[in-house]
């Protein structure tokens, strides 16, 4: 294999150190999902410059750390809305629990990501829970 072909192959695969950096950053972000995480904090946690952190995320995830965190928080919010069978929670409670404080923006991002509004997800979860309950009685 030529030197250029090997270099191109090595660039297309994330390096182990990039994977370690992303894993460490994502672990921190999951542990602090409800709080805004500044890039400077993530850089300190993983021991990389902002450029190094961004490069690691683009190599491993194909997106920025901020976008990755937002996706993680959105998935958590969707899970919480999808599993509420009691109807005791609100979209507002879930959104703020996952660090989304601008509710209109949260709803727009959520709909773009999942094809339905957060309230539709919650209504569907409640409806499905009632159906299951009705079939059990």
**Per-residue pLDDT tens digits for 2-46:** 444 444 444 444 556 999 999 999 999 888 877 778 899 999 999
Q: Residues 75, 123, 31, CA angle at the centre, nearest 5°? A: 25
Tokens 């997800």, residue? Answer: 121
Tokens 């009705």, residue? Answer: 134
Where in the chain are the domains? 1-62, 66-137
Can you tell me the distance from the alpha carbon of 133 to that of 129, in angstroms, rounded to the nearest whole number?
A: 6
Round to the nearest angstrom and report the end-to-end CA distance of the chain: 68
pLDDT per residue as tens digits for the range 42-70: 999 999 999 999 999 999 999 999 898 89
Q: Among 71, 66, 6, which Cα is nearest to 36's?
A: 66
> Would the pTM of this model clear 0.85, i.e. be above it?
no
Rg (CA), the chain: 19
Looking at the domain covering 66-137, what would its CATH class be? mainly alpha
């Amino acid at each position: 294999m030529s030197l250029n072909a090997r270099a191109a192959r090595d660039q297309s695969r994330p390096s182990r150190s990039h994977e370690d950096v992303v894993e460490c950053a994502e672990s921190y972000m999951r542990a602090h999902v409800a709080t805004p995480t500044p890039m400077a904090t993530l850089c300190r946690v993983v021991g990389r410059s902002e450029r190094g952190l961004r490069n690691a995320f683009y190599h491993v995830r194909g997106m920025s750390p901020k976008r990755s965190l937002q996706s993680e928080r959105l998935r958590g919010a969707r899970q919480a809305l999808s599993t509420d069978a009691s109807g005791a929670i609100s979209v507002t409670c879930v959104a703020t629990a996952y660090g989304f404080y601008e509710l209109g923006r949260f709803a727009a991002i959520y709909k773009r990501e999942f094809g339905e509004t957060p309230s539709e997800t919650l209504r569907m979860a409640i409806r499905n829970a009632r159906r299951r309950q009705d079939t059990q009685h």
